[in-house]
Structure 1
Amino acid sequence: MIAVAAAAAFLATFNETFLNVALTPIMTDFGVDVSIVQWLATGYLLVAAVFVPVSNVLYHRFPTRPLFVAAVALLVVGSVVGALAPSFGVLLAGRLLQAAGTGLLTPIGINVTLAVAPREKLGLAMGIMAAMTTLGPSMAIVVSGALLSIAPWTTLMWVFGALSLLVLLAGAVLLRNVAELGRPVLEVLSFLLVAVGLVGLLYGISTAFSGSALIAAIAAVVGVLALAAFVVRQNRIEHPLLNLRPFRSTPFVLGVSMTMLGLLFVFAMNVVIPIFLQSVRGQTPMGASLTLAPGILLTVVLGPIAGRLFDRHGGRVMIPAGFTIMAVFVLLVGVAAGHESVLLFGALYVPAVLATSLVIGPSQTFALSSLDRESSPHGVTVVSTSFQIAGCLGTSLAIGVYNAMTTRGLEGGSDLLGASTLGFRGAAALVALTSVIGIVLAFAATRAARAARAARAAQAEGTVESGRARTVVDLMKTDVYALSTEQNVLEALQMFTERGISGAPVLHPNGSLAGFLSDGDVMRYLSAEHPSSTNIYSFAIGESDDLEDALADLVSLPVMRLATHEVVTVDGNASIADAVAVLSDKHLKKVPVVRDENGPMIGIVSRSAVNRLAISSYLASREGQAQRADDESSIVERERQSA
């Protein structure tokens, strides 16, 4: 199911930039200029943003499979309309029909991922989704460039329609219902307010550089007022179109903001680079696409890796490092735009776009993991809406700055090459500035997450009875079953079975911690190396031949081959609050306790031990309150009798 969700995310974002390389031939065929043709991208993103909040209502009202199929069907129909369009207006109508499907499809895919992905692997799952959302708009440019080198731009619409049909069939076969269904009702007034608000605000921004400043200002003001009215209404009605509860979480707000800045970078560069290379450098659509291809392909590889790193280490270093690389290298790309070498231009863009993998997926996971289960679907709606808004802002601002500075250069006497290079450098400076803002937000997010952990830890510690179990040593289990680095995996499984445990730490001969092995690690290995043995319970029903061969393979396999090497630990002198924070933030059931930072392991503290302590303290507190109440009643009774 995650594969279908990832395919949907790819498809939705793929279509957002699929026509970017074709904007030049479309302008020629329909006789429109760049300020008009950009609405194929901007209008698409506007409509998608409007329909994202509606998806939350539909997701909880209709079964997942038919809803998914209906959303993808809009993409198919819109593709056919666009391919047969006799005029620019009809082509735009087809694109807007596709946009409605995209607005529904993106949050459905994320909700499916959140529903079926294990919590401890959420970073990996969201990393895959982020890789697809980054790959989609970038790969679209490569594919469309290749197609335009051999066929007219209408071919793009037919090809996308065929891809959409394949995803539709996959969803119809593989998806199942994962949402808790009810009968939520679409709040029409809220829908109209958010539609007017987003369209007005984004229209004002997109026309500020190329149209009337007065009209742009009026549109922006109307948009802001409508959004303000929308917020007020959501807080007053019983069933809001968009639950604003996630905005109470500072880490969530910062995570969404960082995600938007990363996406703004991708969309801005994906629209400006093809226009610059084709219109000024004389590159063919295929040449412009190949310039972007290396970074795009590497981004796909890095996305899941960044998700795994986030699961293990968080985003404290990764996210600001990603923004820093983006800012530095996009400025270098701007410098390279004035040189003749397109190869240098493309080479410098590779690390810039690659760094977005360190930002978009981790920031999105950071935001959603800060919410509780009840708030998560509403958070998904906010994140999905932010995708479209970021895309629209990136496209509008980049083209606006590019056109404005190019015009200024021409008016100043520069030739087309010099003026367009000035315009491109202006767009590069814009996204570099947004990346610097991202660095600031990343450090603020780290502080906010630390404060949230401290608040949760203080709340948890408040449940602990005063004077008892103040450090991890007081709570940890000391008779821990452990493995040695010399043992093999089959011996580890035997110990798991005999002791009734699901995992154990692996120790060096000196007692220091080497790693941690779980039965899940073993089963993942068996699933990869011996696909027919994925179910260990086949022994119980007599189908043991394949599995016996697989387990025999484990005799020669050292435990450290499968064990997790970078183990999360907690110091024995740490407080219970620190242990609670580690267990909560890393989504762990148990964590090894060590003496000092790199000392030997002295025990294990588990989530169940913390729960038992909290519950026993609560019960003891209730008994104390009951006893005091009885004592007070006795005193009152004695005083009444003596009177």
Structure 2
Amino acid sequence: MIAVAAAAAFLATFNETFLNVAFTPIMRDFGVDVNTVQWLTTGYLLVAAVFVPVSNVLYHRFPTRVLFSGVVAIMVVASILGALAPTFGVLLAARLLQAIGTGLLTPIGMNITLAMSPREKLGMNMGIMAAMTTLGPSLAIVLSGVLLTVAPWTTLLWVFGALALVVLVAGAVVLRNVAELGRPVLDIVSFLLVAFGLVGVLYGVSAAFGGSALYAGISGVVGLVALWAFVLRQRRIEHPLIDLRPFASIPFVLGVLMTMLGLMFVFAMNVVIPLFLQSAHGMAPLGASLALAPGILLTVFMGPVAGKLFDRTGGRWSIPAGFLVMAVFVTLVGVAAGYSSIVLFAVLYIPAVLATAFVVGPSQTFALSHLDRETSAHGVTVVSTSFQIAGCVGTSLAAGLYGALTAANITAGRDEFDSLLTGFHGAVALVVAVSVIGIILAFLAHRSTRPCVTETREPARAKDVDGAVESVMRPDVYALSTDQTVLAALQTFSERGISGAPVLNADNTAAGFLSDGDVMRYLSATAPSSTSIYSFAADDDLTEAMAELGSVNVMRLATHDVRTIDRNASVADAVAALSDARIKKIPVVDPGTGVVVGVVSRSAINRLAVEHYLRNSDAALAPAR
């Protein structure tokens, strides 16, 4: 199922740039100019962005297999319509119909991956998805260049239709329902507001360099006002189109922003490099496309590797390192652009595009891993919408800056090559700035997930219940250390009769929390027979899986985003913390040092509540006895 979801993500993003190389013959056949033909891509991205929010409603309303098959079928029909189009208007309509499929298909595939992935493999699986979404628009340029050397541009649409048909059959055979179905309502007003908002903002960005500045500004303002009205409406209606609760999570917001910056880099370079190589170095479209091919193909293999690294380290160093490599090597690419060696240019670009694998997928995983099951589907909608926005903004800003600087230098009297080189350097400066911002956000994201003391309610409320949380916490903390194995942790659970324990750093501050549920999820993913580990089933798979736990570090399976509570907090605060986070235990920390001084559990609070009730009942009944 994850393989089908990854294929769908590739298919959806592949089609975003598949026709880019064919713009010249399309203009010739239909007699349109470049400003008109570019809407085959810009319009595609805009419509896809508008329909992403609708996917969450459909995902929870229709069975997964039926929905998936229906969406891919739309793309097949649209491909046939486009291949047979007698006019440019019909071709554009077919592309926009395909875009509806893309806007729905990408988040559906991500939701399938989230639903099917155990937490300890989420990074790897999301890395695969990110590799496919990054590979799609990049590889499309190369393949379309190859096909156009031997066939007319209509062949591209027939080929895409055939690929979509293969994915349709695979989904119909493999998929089963993974969503919690209900009858969510599509709020039409919200849909229209988000449509006007996204189209207004993205058209404003697109037109800023190539159209009227006045129209671009008006469009942007109208879009922002519509988005503001959309946000207000989501807070007031019973069935919001997009649940805004994910934005309450700072790690989620930072993860989405990092994902967008990585994607802006990819889309910007995908459009500017072929333009520069063809215009400044006189290369054919196929040759310019092939200059991108080595890095693009290697990214496919690097995505899962980056995902596994994220599973182990949480992206603490890999994400900022990825942004740093992007900035350094794209700068070197800018330097090499002034020389005649295309080989050097292409070789220097390989590390830059490979580094995006350590940014895009891990950043998506970082964002979505900080949401609970209830809000994760809405988080997917936000991430998928951000993908289309990043693509449109990255393409428009890079191409616009490249064209504006080139035209300004030619007008100033500089020769054509130097003018084109200046335009390319402007686009390079843009993506370097994007990468530097990404480094800053990556460190902020890591800081946002550090264990922190939960703010207490007003101190006076502590007396409203039976004292502070210290009165019910267990001071003899059974804790794990960050260098222990999972097998050693299970032995501690067994010996102490507990189901989970905090993982402490050397200074006794909280580094994570490991529960038996975390271990069970890991075993169920690696050994089919271990779905009920504590039933003492004897099986070779289970034995091997348990033996493997002797080499797995506790921090690989532990929850890193640890919820803690102040030792001076009230019992009411502890009840709220346990209830809000839906956990059984919460570490109690000293507010000054952050050192874990105890653990409070739901069972301890339940015992306190029962004792309190019985004590009061006895006191009330005493006079009557």
- TM-score band (shorter)? 0.7 to 0.9
Residues of 2 paired with 1:483 and 1:405: CA distance?
57
Quote the residue 1:454 is aligned against: 452
Code of the residue aligned with 2:478 in structure 1: it is: L
Please show how residues 291-370 of structure 1 align to structure 2 within 5 Å: 291-370=291-370
Please show how residues 533-548 of structure 1 align to structure 2 within 5 Å: none
Please show how residues 310-459 of structure 1 align to structure 2 within 5 Å: 310-450=310-450, 453-455=451-453
- Could you tell me the TM-score, scaled by structure 2's length? 0.81
Residues of 1 paired with 2:41 and 2:486: CA distance?
57
SS in 2 for 1:241: coil
Residues of 1 paired with 2:418 and 2:486: CA distance?
67
**1:475 paired to 2:478:** yes
SS in 1 for 2:181: coil
TM-superposed deviation, 1:184: 1.6
Distance 1:566 1:357, change over 3 A: farther
Residues of 2 paired with 1:370 and 1:483: CA distance?
23
Residues of 1 paired with 2:549 and 2:258: CA distance?
36
Residues of 2 paired with 1:93 and 1:384: CA distance?
23
TM-superposed deviation, 1:93: 1.6
SS in 1 for 2:449: helix
**1:196 paired to 2:183:** no
Code of the residue aligned with 1:614 in structure 2: it is: S
TM-superposed deviation, 1:449: 1.7
SS in 1 for 2:335: helix
**1:269 paired to 2:273:** no
Quote the residue 1:113 is aligned against: 113
Cα deviations by residue, 1:60-97 (Å, 9 ceiling, x for unpaired)? 11111111111111211221222222333222221111
Decide whether the 8 Å contact of 1:135 with 1:299 is kept in 2. Answer: yes
Quote the residue 2:15 is aligned against: 15
**1:78 paired to 2:78:** yes
The percentage of aligned residue pairs carrying the same residue is 63
Decide whether the 8 Å contact of 2:249 with 2:370 is kept in 1. Answer: yes
**1:466 paired to 2:464:** no
Distance 1:29 1:413, change over 3 A: farther
Most deviating of 557-566 and 5-14: 557-566
Decide whether the 8 Å contact of 1:18 with 1:137 is kept in 2. Answer: yes
Decide whether the 8 Å contact of 1:149 with 1:284 is kept in 2. Answer: no
Distance 1:559 1:44, change over 3 A: same
Residues of 1 paired with 2:563 and 2:195: CA distance?
50
Distance 1:145 1:483, change over 3 A: closer
Code of the residue aligned with 2:312 in structure 1: it is: R
TM-superposed deviation, 1:234: 0.9
Code of the residue aligned with 1:474 in structure 2: it is: V
Cα deviations by residue, 1:169-196 (Å, 9 ceiling, x for unpaired)? 1111111111111112211111111111
Residues of 2 paired with 1:311 and 1:282: CA distance?
45
**1:3 paired to 2:6:** no
Quote the residue 1:563 is aligned against: 551
Residues of 1 paired with 2:524 and 2:181: CA distance?
34
Please show how residues 179-328 of structure 1 align to structure 2 within 5 Å: 179-328=179-328
Quote the residue 1:174 is aligned against: 174
Decide whether the 8 Å contact of 1:522 with 1:562 is kept in 2. Answer: no
Decide whether the 8 Å contact of 2:473 with 2:601 is kept in 1. Answer: no
Quote the residue 2:506 is aligned against: none
Decide whether the 8 Å contact of 1:20 with 1:274 is kept in 2. Answer: no
TM-superposed deviation, 1:362: 0.9
Residues of 2 paired with 1:148 and 1:22: CA distance?
7
TM-superposed deviation, 1:203: 0.5
Residues of 1 paired with 2:524 and 2:249: CA distance?
37
- Could you tell me the TM-score, scaled by structure 1's length? 0.79
Distance 1:193 1:466, change over 3 A: same
SS in 2 for 1:235: helix
TM-superposed deviation, 1:34: 3.4
SS in 2 for 1:371: coil
SS in 1 for 2:477: helix
Residues of 2 paired with 1:437 and 1:445: CA distance?
12
Decide whether the 8 Å contact of 2:326 with 2:355 is kept in 1. Answer: yes
Residues of 2 paired with 1:342 and 1:397: CA distance?
25
Decide whether the 8 Å contact of 1:201 with 1:224 is kept in 2. Answer: yes
Residues of 2 paired with 1:68 and 1:417: CA distance?
48
TM-superposed deviation, 1:16: 1.0
TM-superposed deviation, 1:634: 7.3
Quote the residue 1:619 is aligned against: 606
Distance 1:316 1:522, change over 3 A: closer
Residues of 1 paired with 2:281 and 2:437: CA distance?
31
Decide whether the 8 Å contact of 1:199 with 1:223 is kept in 2. Answer: yes
TM-superposed deviation, 1:278: 2.2
Code of the residue aligned with 2:278 in structure 1: it is: Q
SS in 2 for 1:475: coil
Quote the residue 2:145 is aligned against: 145
TM-superposed deviation, 1:321: 1.1
Code of the residue aligned with 2:378 in structure 1: it is: H
TM-superposed deviation, 1:102: 0.3
Decide whether the 8 Å contact of 2:486 with 2:553 is kept in 1. Answer: no
5+ residue gaps, structure 1, are: 486-499, 503-517, 528-533, 538-543, 581-586, 591-604
Cα deviations by residue, 1:412-467 (Å, 9 ceiling, x for unpaired)? 112322222211111111111111111121122122222xx4256989xx999516
Distance 1:200 1:268, change over 3 A: same
Distance 1:562 1:628, change over 3 A: closer
TM-superposed deviation, 1:627: 5.5
Residues of 2 paired with 1:145 and 1:81: CA distance?
22
Residues of 2 paired with 1:50 and 1:484: CA distance?
48
Distance 1:501 1:35, change over 3 A: same
TM-superposed deviation, 1:253: 1.0
Residues of 1 paired with 2:520 and 2:185: CA distance?
45
Matched residue pairs, number? 569
Residues of 1 paired with 2:449 and 2:386: CA distance?
21
Code of the residue aligned with 1:194 in structure 2: it is: V
Residues of 1 paired with 2:243 and 2:261: CA distance?
23
Most deviating of 146-155 and 385-394: 146-155
Quote the residue 1:123 is aligned against: 123
Distance 1:192 1:560, change over 3 A: closer
TM-superposed deviation, 1:378: 0.8
Distance 1:155 1:325, change over 3 A: same
Distance 1:560 1:108, change over 3 A: closer
Distance 1:561 1:346, change over 3 A: farther
TM-superposed deviation, 1:324: 1.2
Decide whether the 8 Å contact of 1:194 with 1:227 is kept in 2. Answer: yes
Most deviating of 272-281 and 38-47: 272-281
Residues of 2 paired with 1:332 and 1:281: CA distance?
18
Residues of 2 paired with 1:551 and 1:454: CA distance?
37
Decide whether the 8 Å contact of 2:62 with 2:181 is kept in 1. Answer: yes
TM-superposed deviation, 1:482: 9.4
SS in 2 for 1:223: helix
Quote the residue 2:103 is aligned against: 103
SS in 1 for 2:324: helix
**1:159 paired to 2:159:** yes
Decide whether the 8 Å contact of 1:470 with 1:576 is kept in 2. Answer: no
CA RMSD for the aligned pairs? 4.3
Most deviating of 625-634 and 44-53: 625-634
Code of the residue aligned with 1:415 in structure 2: it is: D
Code of the residue aligned with 1:475 in structure 2: it is: Y
